[in-house]
Amino acid sequence: MLLYLFKRIILMIPLLIGITIISFAVIHLAPGKPTDMSTMMNPKASLEAKKRLEQLYGLDKPLHIQYWNWFKRLVVLDFGRSFSPDRELVLNKIARRLPITILISVLSMVLIFIVAIPIGILSATRRNSLFDKITTVFVFIGFATPTFWLALLMMILFGVNLGWLPISGLKSLEYENFTFWGQIWDRTAHLIMPVLLSAFGGLAGMSRYMRSNMLEVIRQDYITTARAKGVSERMVIYKHALRNALMPVITILGLSVPGLIGGSVIFESIFAIPGMGQLFYSSVMSRDYPVVMGGLVIGAILTLAGNLLADISYALADPRIREGRS
């Protein structure tokens, strides 16, 4: 197991290097320079000042040297400083916001798991029943629904018309005055809509995926064997079939990480949640290149971490891989 883990991590190193090259190339191969924003906006900036600024950021050197300098700092987790007036360290900026996005992503993964799996099992075991047909319709509509639109509709319904849920931020203004339980409820209420929406796209996909997995597994010989030797249908479905149908789900959960993180841009900016997605979006809008590059790298690393976690869980769950520990 440890050896397996070690191999997986070693294989990630070339990918990590590739990630840094692409993140760097995206920003630097484009026309215009990162300093254009601050010099063009300022009519007093002379040609000389412009040169000085470029020198400060090392933009006067050839591209591969710039990359190498940036990469050397990355290795020790130095992402540089933000272009914003406070000149904060990019790493601090991201570290402050990342936990919020990860919290919402994990909560929505849990939600996807506990809602979509039973739906998938039920529609597979009762194939072509009314339940199956209704969920199929919902799945198709779910695939076609723009999440940000659903967010607007939910804000109108639950936030504006009914007034049940808050529509922005992570806590209320008068949060400090609440009792302990009041504070807990306040936090929860602020998370309900973002988590639901972040999970929404995955719900449709996962229930569909679970349904076809289940249908596939039920057709296998070992299920026929189990039935033939007189195992009850409940046992066949929930023990023999389910265990095998769940295996690929682990991988899919791992693969859903980039989607969840990418999606955070949309619902975090709608609900004004100070997470990674909102940071990335606002840095893009203000052309804060160090933060954009840092965000790209961190986003891709999280994806790799998600895949690694999925691989580990898969290995733990599948005896064929687990046995290889010796």
Partner 1 sequence: MRPGNLTQDFLRRFMENKLALLGGALVLALFVVSFLAPWLAPHNPNYIDVKAILIGPSSNHLFGTDHLGRDVLSRMIWGSRISLKVGFVAVGIATLIGVVLGALAGYYGGLVDSSIMRFVDLMLCFPAFFLILAVIAILEPSIWNIMIVIGVTGWMGVARLVRAEFLTLKTREFVQAARVLGASDLRIIFVHILPNALAPVLVSATLGVAGAILTESALSFLGIGVQPPTPSWGNILTAGKDNISIAWWLSLYPGLAILITVLGYNLLGEGVRDALDPRLKE
Residues contributing to the site for partner 1 (CB under 8 A): 14-15, 18-19, 22-23, 26-27, 30-32, 140-141, 143-150, 152-153, 155-156, 160, 167, 212, 215, 258-259, 261-263, 265-266, 269-270, 280-281, 284-285, 287, 292, 295-296, 299-300, 303-304
Identity of the residue, 236 or 263, whose beta carbon is nearer to partner 1 in the bound complex: 263
Q: Across the chain, how many H-helices and E-strands are there?
A: 15, 0
| Residues pairing with 89 in the sheet | 81
The answer to whether 284 and 30 are in contact (CB under 8 A) is no
Identity of the residue, 211 or 240, whose beta carbon is nearer to partner 1 in the bound complex: 211
Identity of the residue, 7 or 322, whose beta carbon is nearer to partner 1 in the bound complex: 7
The answer to whether 303 and 257 are in contact (CB under 8 A) is yes
How wide is the angle at C-alpha 94 spanned by C-alphas 28 and 178, nearest 5°?
Answer: 150
Q: CA-to-CA distance for 309 and 317, rounded, in angstroms?
A: 12
Identity of the residue, 172 or 282, whose beta carbon is nearer to partner 1 in the bound complex: 282
Residue 41: Cβ within 10 Å count: 8
Rounded least distance, CB 109 to partner 1, Å: 15
Rounded least distance, CB 188 to partner 1, Å: 22
| Residues pairing with 81 in the sheet | 89
Rounded least distance, CB 270 to partner 1, Å: 7
Q: CA-to-CA distance for 313 and 48, rounded, in angstroms?
A: 57
Pair of tokens at residue 191 = 């998370």
Rounded least distance, CB 273 to partner 1, Å: 15
Pair of tokens at residue 238 = 């929930």
SS3 state of residue 173: coil
The answer to whether 310 and 5 are in contact (CB under 8 A) is no
Give the Å distances, CA to CA, from 82 to 57, 71, 75, 279: 12, 17, 18, 11
Rounded least distance, CB 153 to partner 1, Å: 6
Query: Which amino acid does the sequence have at 197?
Result: L
Identity of the residue, 89 or 150, whose beta carbon is nearer to partner 1 in the bound complex: 150
Give the Å distances, CA to CA, from 164 to 80, 155, 292: 43, 10, 36
Rounded least distance, CB 61 to partner 1, Å: 20
Identity of the residue, 32 or 62, whose beta carbon is nearer to partner 1 in the bound complex: 32
Rounded least distance, CB 144 to partner 1, Å: 4
The answer to whether 211 and 79 are in contact (CB under 8 A) is no
Rounded least distance, CB 195 to partner 1, Å: 18
Identity of the residue, 84 or 212, whose beta carbon is nearer to partner 1 in the bound complex: 212
Residue 153: Cβ within 10 Å count: 10
Identity of the residue, 172 or 183, whose beta carbon is nearer to partner 1 in the bound complex: 172
